[in-house]
Amino acid sequence: MTILWLLAALVLACSPVQAADRTIYLTFDDGPLDGTSNILDVLQAENVPATMFMVGLHAKSSPESMALVARAKSMPLVTLGNHSYSHAFNRYRKFYADTEGVVADMVRANAVLGLEVPTHARLPGRNVFRLPNISTNDLSIDRIEIGIEEPDYEFVAATGFWLYGWDHEWVHDGTGKPVQSVTRLVSEIDHMFTGKVRFVRPNKLILLMHDEMFQDTFNGTANLTALIQGLRQRGYSFGHLPDYDSLN
């Protein structure tokens, strides 16, 4: 409790922000992994919505992993999303060179995760939106690669997948350790809103995180709790990702 209190105090020490009508969408990639259960515990305790983009191969790894999928699906505030079957085996350019293979991989993940179309989904390694009212490509890859990959995005979307990218990321160092402190992350989010950053949707920020960041029962859980409490204290609301593309 002491660490939780200190983290929350540090977050609240930042200068106030006018956060009315500014919405955060919490999203978590790559589960089910060791940190997934801790994430679900915190979401339930804090009563906030979030989307879990899960990987079919990870879900199939054990009965315990499939139980985490079932638990996520049973929680009213949690949206279960598709994050591919293979996660491209982390060989993205090879993966996206085969359009039919990409579509088949996403469809296979739906079968494992028990999802129906239209499916909320996130492509592995690509910050791409393909929604009824939004279409954007990943600006971190070059135009030649985008030209190669665009048919993949279009065919996946046409198959019944609503693709979500992200606006900001809580980065980890590859071992699951967060790069930014909670205080730093909240400050970055504040600056994005007050600095007139152009979001994909005005005043709506999709935050990307990864399940492995929360595998440490003590500090991982404390960090996520402190983040949620800090953002809430500063006036941000938490949105359901299925409502993100609404024009209202």
Q: What is the pLDDT of residues 204-236, one digit of tens each?
A: 999 999 999 999 978 889 999 999 999 999 999
- Supply the pLDDT for residue 16: 45
In this structure, the dihedral spanned by the alpha carbons of residues 113, 53, 42 and 200, taken in order and rounded to 10 degrees, is: -150
| Residue-wise pLDDT tens digits, 135-157 | 999 999 999 999 999 999 999 99
Summarize the chain as % helix, strand, coil (round to 5). 45, 20, 35
User: In 3D, which of 178, 162, 188 has the Cα closest to residue 14?
Assistant: 188
- Determine phi and psi for 201, rounding to 5 degrees: -120, 125
Quick check: helix, strand or coil at residue 16? coil
Q: Domains in the chain, please, with CATH?
A: 2-11+24-242 (3.20.20.370)
Q: Which residues pair with 82 in a beta bridge?
A: 54, 121
* Contact partners, residue 198, CB within 8 Å, separation at least 6: none
> 0.75 cut: is pTM over it?
yes
- In the predicted model, residues of the chain with pLDDT beneath 50 are 1, 5, 8, 11-17
